[in-house]
Amino acid sequence: MTPPIISIQSVSKHFGGTRALHEVSFDVLPGELHAICGENGAGKSTLMKILSGVITSYDGALQVDGNSVRFSGTRDAEKAGISIIHQELNLVEQLSIAANIFLGRERRWGGVFRDDRGMERAATELLHALDCDIPTHRLAGSLRVGDQQLIEIAKSLSLNSRILVMDEPTSALTEAEVERLYRVIAKLRSHGTTILYISHKMDEVFHLSDRITVLRDGQFIATRNTRETNPAEITHLMVGRDIESLDLGPRSPIGETILAVKNLSLAWPGHARGYRLKDVSFELHRGEVLGIAGLMGAGRTELLESLFGASQLTPTGEIWLDGRSILPRHPAEAKRYGLALVTEDRKRLGIFNTMDVGRNISMCSLQKATVGPLLERSRENVLSQSMVEKLRIKTAGLTPPIGSLSGGNQQKCIVGRWLLTNPKVLLLDDPTRGVDVGAKAELYRVIRGLCSEGLGVIVTSSELPELLTLSDRIMVLSEGRKTAEFPIAEATQEKILEAATRSWQSHSKPA
Amino acid sequence: MSNDSPSLISRLWSSVEFKLILSWLVVVIATALLDTNHTYFNAPGESAQLILRRTVLLGFFALGSAIIIISGGIDLSSGSVIAMSATVFGSLMIVLDPQGFKDGSVSTTAVILSIAGTLLVGAMIGTLHAWLITGVGLPPFVATLATLVGLRSFSRGLTPTVTMGKSQIDFPDDKLREALKDVTSITIAFVLFAILLWFLMSRTVIGRHLTAMGGNEHAAKLSGIRTDRLKWLAYVIGAVSASIVGIITFADDGSAKPDIMARGYELNAIAGSVIGGCSLQGGIGTIPGTVLGCLFLRTVIDSVTKIVGAGADVFEGMIVGIVVVLAVTFSQRGGSKLSDKKYFANEIGWSVIPPLGILSGLSFLLFFGKREWYAPYQAFLFGFVVIAALAVRAVLESRSKNTSGPS
């Protein structure tokens, strides 16, 4: 048997009182693609941060090539040949691609002057090796997420990394970009690079990996050869129970129209297309889940923001809620009309990091907890507690900081925040992004439960299987226009993808 | 109530307020013991009055600043708003009761109208700030920097226009002056103001929304919070609180000199808030903390004055600077021990040791140079002791590098 390239030996890590990792041990073999699976909070990211020198204080030992190592920073790890591609990319948006790749290791001539040309040339070569030919003087901030990720990979190539850690690399990619990423991974592997691949997505893990290690609650659970296992077993190991039966029960009966949107358009000044949304019309009924599919940039988020009065410019068109014409100009108005929006970017647009769980939940309905002018803490707690129980939020009471909860539970807090406002229509923008399998199923159940209470729900998602599981009807957007709508019985991944990639020009000119 | 959090005592122990009270007691006791004139023993009432007056005058507008900071903004203009308000207060009295102003007895109606008018001007300045920030889209730093510079200049222009050519307005009415600067009444007014703001921040929906906006403005807006209106409120409270201080300071100083009055006070207000636990990132901070922060700051300044002797005005800035650095350093270190943190174990750390030593030696000279027992070698010795102590610390820190890791 080949000696391992990385050997992790009883590694433990505590953050304050919470245990992130406990006595984790396993080996990684040279040249393999080793997937690390586990729910959010299982300790995957913490372990990878230790491996790449981001976290430097921990218990236990690491061996690389049989030698004990203890990294005192990412530079140390890079010297040992380990690079990490973080889930949230670390690029300086205001610098060029080349400058980003060589950041901190700038090439110089005469020891003083920066050699920008030389760096651009080298960067071009690196990108070329990844089948990518974006001019390397372009600013990193002007690139799509998928391209930005390639820049990070190119950076690790330039470091001659033998071991590459990828933390949920596909979470923000379109299908086409995922395909390209797979090709890049195949190429890297043909050169003998060892890859540690963190992911929730079973299809990816089974498509790519040689072996799979499962972590749960900071502990090592098992390592399996991919060929000798199946998604059901891995999911079972991750969750510690069976969730294969993703049967959400019978769909709730669909009632009268609650929301009608007619010819909604949103301008996009300064862009060649001229609009973010163009003449989008649809209806939503009580008790119904309307799924919105579309590639990144198709206008999913913009559509929800327009409905909610949160778009930069005011949209045009008609929005009828419960038979009343509305066009909210501020989220406060939308809230009063009975709309609720759970945003896509939880960290940036959702949670209040300096506040505790209870205050995060009660934020939108504090008026209900007042006596005269004063906020009554006990009433507020009753409100928040009711949502903790209804949505089964896993938390040690209302006082821990929101950041101490897992992604799925943070998301539930935000859903709870809006449910307290008794909305008529709930808008969910990619609600399961960065949420693990077990918590996803929980969220699905919550959404279905809300429908049975008569709410209308609009859900967007970057994962088609999710939309197919959850929706009663699926509407497809492409380049800001609605290109198709399917009742769930007729919807298939192929049909949706076809509609999502249809450009308006080809659509308007029938072949 | 579900209170499954850590015990009350441990929460109290870790609160900024509690630490400030402890530090304050330490400073008071140290001053009482080290002051060679024993002022705190001989004239406790007088000493308390002095500190109280200074604290109140700082506290009023520091509270305004704190609310702006907690809500995610910054106000650099308060010093100029104080000077402007004093000028406006004086000008209004001249305009409303010119004869009374000359005779040294301004009519009550004119006084009340002038005070109301001055506070209104404060509210207008706050509105201007809010508009520059939300309407024009300037960063708060730039918007209030503009008024910091602009309003003082405006006041200097206004003064000769209303006084027929003088560059200052003298306080006209001695009775009114005594009433406005009376330490008991201004202290009571301040306590009421602080309680009002405390309730606003900790017990009302608006206060929660202000804190939320400071923590995450985007999320606040998307939660249906009218962030523009909240900013208006915060900046109006900030400017009006500075106006109140302008009125009192006018009486306290006996004249309004817009060119030098309250210059640099805005930074003291920010310092008081920061010492009191407000985070300049927004979202964190309390009203009681800010009050205690101001009390602590003024007490330290008083203490140094007592121990060193005269020159309080000269050294005030130095003291504020040092206290801010220490307070934030201690509050930042969080749960970890002071001995775990490395301050001097790199190139920048080593290079700062000689300047710190030289500064310490020179400060020794400045503070004690006029004492009988002073001899030049002492300043040198003190500087060297500081350098040696820091060097030892630096060496220990670099040594501990090898053994760091699991402890």
pLDDT tens digits for range A160-205: 889 999 988 886 677 778 888 898 899 889 989 999 998 877 788 8
User: Could you report how far apart the first and last alpha carbons of chain A are, in Å?
Assistant: 59
Stretch B385-390: mean pLDDT: 94
- Does residue B165 sit in helix, strand or coil? coil
Alpha-helical regions (H) of A214-330: 231-239, 300-307
Token pair belonging to A155 = 């950076």
8 Å CB contact of B204 and A359: no
8 Å CB contact of B218 and A355: no
Lowest average pLDDT, out of A98-107, A240-249, A473-482, goes to: A240-249
For helices B44-70 and B183-203, give the axis angle rounded to 10 degrees.
Answer: 30
8 Å CB contact of B203 and A381: no
In this prediction, residue B404 carries a pLDDT of 41
Token pair belonging to B161 = 């226009």
Which chain A residue has the Cα nearest residue B283?
A: A354
Question: B356, B393 in Cβ contact below 8 A?
Answer: no
Stretch A249-274: mean pLDDT: 85
Q: Which of B209, B404, B406 sits opposite A59 (nearest CB)?
A: B406
8 Å CB contact of A349 and B222: yes
Contacts of A396 in chain B (CB under 8 A): 4
In this prediction, residue A445 carries a pLDDT of 86
For helices B183-203 and B205-215, give the axis angle rounded to 10 degrees.
Answer: 70
8 Å CB contact of A370 and B406: no
Contacts of A18 in chain B (CB under 8 A): none
Contacts of B217 in chain A (CB under 8 A): none
CA distances from B259 to A333, B124, B246 (A): 47, 22, 14
Burial A320-349 (b: 16+ CB within 10 A, else e): ebbeeebbbebbbbbbebbbbbbbbebeeb
In this prediction, residue B338 carries a pLDDT of 61
Minimal C-alpha gap between A60 and chain B (Å): 9
User: How many residues can be counted in chain B?
Assistant: 407
Cα–Cα distance, A97 to A114 (Å, whole number): 15
In this prediction, residue B403 carries a pLDDT of 40
Contacts of B207 in chain A (CB under 8 A): 375
8 Å CB contact of A375 and B226: no
8 Å CB contact of A396 and B284: no
Minimal C-alpha gap between B335 and chain A (Å): 9
Contacts of B226 in chain A (CB under 8 A): 330, 332
In this prediction, residue A502 carries a pLDDT of 72
Q: pTM for this one?
A: 0.80
User: What residues of chain B, 269 to 308, have a C-beta less than 8 Å from chain A?
Assistant: 283-284
In this predicted structure, the answer to whether residue B234 has a pLDDT above a threshold of 60 is yes
8 Å CB contact of B218 and A16: no
Q: Which of A56, A364, A399 sits opposite B5 (nearest CB)?
A: A399
8 Å CB contact of A363 and B212: yes
In this prediction, residue A239 carries a pLDDT of 72
Of the pLDDT bands very low, low, confident and very high (cuts 50, 70, 90), residue B157 is very high
Token pair belonging to B299 = 């007490």
The residues on A that touch B, with CB distances below 8 Å, are 16, 56-59, 70, 308, 310, 330-332, 334-336, 341, 343, 348-355, 359, 363-364, 366-367, 370, 373-375, 377-378, 381, 385, 396-399, 417, 421
Amino acid present at B167: S
Cα–Cα distance, B141 to B74 (Å, whole number): 6
8 Å CB contact of A355 and B221: no
CA distances from B25 to A497, B33, B59 (A): 70, 12, 19
Residues facing B255 on adjacent strands: B170
Q: For testing the chain A interface, which of B199, B208, B222 should be mutated: the one with the most A CBs within 10 Å? A: B222
8 Å CB contact of B218 and A348: yes
Minimal C-alpha gap between B99 and chain A (Å): 45
Contacts of A360 in chain B (CB under 8 A): none
Is B221 an 8 Å CB contact of chain A?
Answer: yes
Which chain B residue has the Cα nearest residue A385?
A: B2
Cα–Cα distance, A335 to A328 (Å, whole number): 9
In this prediction, residue A244 carries a pLDDT of 43
Contacts of B400 in chain A (CB under 8 A): none
ipTM of this complex prediction, to 2 decimal places:
0.82
Question: B60, B268 in Cβ contact below 8 A?
Answer: no
Contacts of A399 in chain B (CB under 8 A): 3-5
Stretch B66-89: mean pLDDT: 96
DSSP summary character for residue A430: S
Cα–Cα distance, A78 to A155 (Å, whole number): 11
Residue among B197, B175, B198, B178 nearest B186 (CA): B178
> What is the side-by-side order of every strand in the sheet holding A289-293?
A339-342, A425-429, A456-460, A289-293, A473-478, A481-487
Is B13 an 8 Å CB contact of chain A?
Answer: no
In this predicted structure, the answer to whether residue B321 has a pLDDT above a threshold of 50 is yes
Mean pLDDT of chain B: 89
pLDDT tens digits, residue range A403-453? Answer: 888 878 898 999 999 999 999 999 999 888 767 777 788 888 889 888 888
Q: For testing the chain B interface, which of A11, A363, A364, A415 should be mutated: the one with the most B CBs within 10 Å? A: A363
Token pair belonging to A382 = 């009753």
pLDDT tens digits, residue range B334-385? Answer: 555 666 677 887 889 899 999 999 999 998 888 888 778 888 899 999 999 9
B197: exposed, middle or buried (Cβ count in 10 Å: 0-12, 13-18, 19+):
buried
Is B8 an 8 Å CB contact of chain A?
Answer: no
Comparing A79 with A245, the larger pLDDT belongs to: A79
Lowest average pLDDT, out of A4-8, B306-310, B392-396, goes to: B306-310
8 Å CB contact of B219 and A417: no
Contacts of A421 in chain B (CB under 8 A): 224
Stretch B197-204: mean pLDDT: 95
User: How many residues can be counted in chain A?
Assistant: 511
- Does residue A493 sit in helix, strand or coil? helix
In this predicted structure, the answer to whether residue A504 has a pLDDT above a threshold of 70 is no
8 Å CB contact of A359 and B404: no
Q: Which of B5, B215, B218 sits opposite A397 (nearest CB)?
A: B5
Is B398 an 8 Å CB contact of chain A?
Answer: no
- Kindly write down the DSSP assignment for every residue of A235-246, as one continuous string: HHHHHSS-----
Is B400 an 8 Å CB contact of chain A?
Answer: no
In this prediction, residue B1 carries a pLDDT of 40
Residue among B177, B152, B30 nearest B101 (CA): B177
Of the pLDDT bands very low, low, confident and very high (cuts 50, 70, 90), residue B8 is confident
Contacts of A59 in chain B (CB under 8 A): 406
Mean pLDDT of chain A: 86
Which chain A residue has the Cα nearest residue B200?
A: A374
> What is the side-by-side order of every strand in the sheet holding A324-326?
A275-285, A257-267, A316-321, A324-326
Which chain B residue has the Cα nearest residue A335?
A: B224
Cα A344 to chain centroid, rounded: 8
In this predicted structure, the answer to whether residue B185 has a pLDDT above a threshold of 90 is yes
Q: For testing the chain B interface, which of A306, A352, A418, A419 should be mutated: the one with the most B CBs within 10 Å? A: A352
8 Å CB contact of B5 and A59: no
In this prediction, residue A241 carries a pLDDT of 57
In this predicted structure, the answer to whether residue B76 has a pLDDT above a threshold of 70 is yes
Share of chain A above pLDDT 70, in %: 94
8 Å CB contact of B284 and A354: yes
Lowest average pLDDT, out of A366-380, B39-53, B328-342, goes to: B328-342
Minimal C-alpha gap between B394 and chain A (Å): 19
Strands A67-69 and A219-225 turn out to be unpaired
In this predicted structure, the answer to whether residue A482 has a pLDDT above a threshold of 90 is yes
pLDDT tens digits, residue range A72-119? Answer: 888 889 888 998 888 777 888 889 999 999 888 888 888 788 888 889
In this prediction, residue A243 carries a pLDDT of 45
> Which of A104-118, A463-477, B29-43, B276-290 is the most confident on average?
B276-290
Contacts of B216 in chain A (CB under 8 A): 348-349, 351-353
8 Å CB contact of A375 and B204: yes
Q: Which of A16, A56, A354 sits opposite B215 (nearest CB)?
A: A354
Q: Which of A56, A330, A398 sits opposite B2 (nearest CB)?
A: A398
